[in-house]
């Protein structure tokens, strides 16, 4: 009908592209997974003419849409790579840089599969341990004028089954994870760091070359 607005609904497209990063810490396995969301947009006005009496009729049909936020890792810039930090009893540190393509404020979060470096299948006599906890730093850098965000969590607090919570325990959502209060688009400087001082737990770590963990990292827009 002439004069009635035709409104096109917003369409959100979600893509999840897994990234897997393996680093063996005698050995630590680090797996990175990311998510991205986006909303397309367009705006147009159409004018139509019709012959007859009167000679023409003008039909104004406004077509409107909006632009939604999106967030994900830049192509080829997700945290990836591998490293072997050697003896699990010793101090270690390793960084995994990444670059984001986030047009709005967002949150990033991490999950630890084992809650530390776990020696799977190793017999654990009394007085010994097969799990060596470590720390995870998450540092987010935004566009010019955006204050960076950073936090540190113990891997024991990053398990989905764990009752403990941490600033960036995953999975990320609009309300869960470390939040950067602004956009970060093709900006370098963000990183995930895994580290620990020399092991000083009360129990002796059992001898094993299978100590490993898997970390999963997700990002989500956070209006």
Give the other-Cβ count within 10 Å of 69's Cβ: 16
**For the segment 136-172, what is each residue's pLDDT rounded down to a tens digit?**
999 999 999 999 999 999 999 999 877 778 999 999 9
Q: In what order do the strands lie in the sheet with 131-132?
A: 131-132, 117-119, 211-212
Q: What are the extents of the domains in the chain?
A: 13-38+68-221
Quickly tell me which residue has 């009908």 as its tokens: 1
User: Rounded to 5 degrees, what are φ and ψ at 190?
Assistant: -80, 145
**For the segment 73-106, what is each residue's pLDDT rounded down to a tens digit?**
999 998 876 777 789 899 999 999 999 999 999 9
* Contact indicator for 107, 217 with CB cutoff of 8 Å: no
Whether residue 2 is predicted with pLDDT greater than 80 in this model: the reply is no
- How far apart (Å, rounded) are the C-alpha atoms in residues 134 and 195? 6
What integer pLDDT is reported at residue 55 of this predicted model? 65
Which parts of the chain are beta strand (E)? Answer: 12-21, 30-39, 44-48, 59-63, 92-102, 106-112, 117-119, 128-129, 131-132, 135-140, 149-154, 178-180, 184-196, 204-205, 211-212, 215-221
Average pLDDT of the chain is: 79
Report residue 97 CA to chain centroid gap: 12
């Amino acid at each position: 009908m002439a004069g009635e607005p035709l409104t096109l609904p917003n369409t959100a497209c979600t893509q999840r592209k897994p990234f897997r990063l393996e680093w063996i810490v005698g050995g630590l396995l680090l797996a990175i997974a990311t998510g991205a969301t986006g909303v397309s947009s367009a705006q147009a006005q159409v004018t139509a003419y019709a012959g007859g009496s009167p000679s023409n009729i003008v039909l104004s049909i406004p077509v409107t849409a909006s632009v939604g936020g999106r967030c994900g890792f830049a192509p080829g810039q997700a945290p990836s790579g591998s490293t072997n930090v050697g003896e699990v009893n010793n101090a270690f540190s390793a960084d995994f840089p990444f670059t984001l393509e986030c047009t709005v404020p967002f949150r990033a979060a991490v999950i630890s599969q084992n809650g530390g470096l776990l020696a799977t299948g190793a017999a654990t006599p009394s007085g010994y341990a097969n799990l060596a906890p470590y720390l995870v730093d998450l540092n987010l850098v935004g566009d010019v004028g955006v204050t960076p965000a950073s936090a540190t969590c113990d891997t024991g607090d990053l398990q989905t089954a764990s009752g403990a919570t941490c600033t960036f325990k995953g999975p990320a959502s609009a309300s869960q994870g470390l939040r950067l209060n602004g956009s970060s688009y093709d900006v370098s400087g963000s990183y995930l760091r895994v580290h620990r001082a020399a092991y000083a737990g009360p129990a002796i770590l059992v001898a094993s070359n299978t100590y490993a963990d898997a970390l999963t990292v997700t990002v989500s827009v956070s209006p």
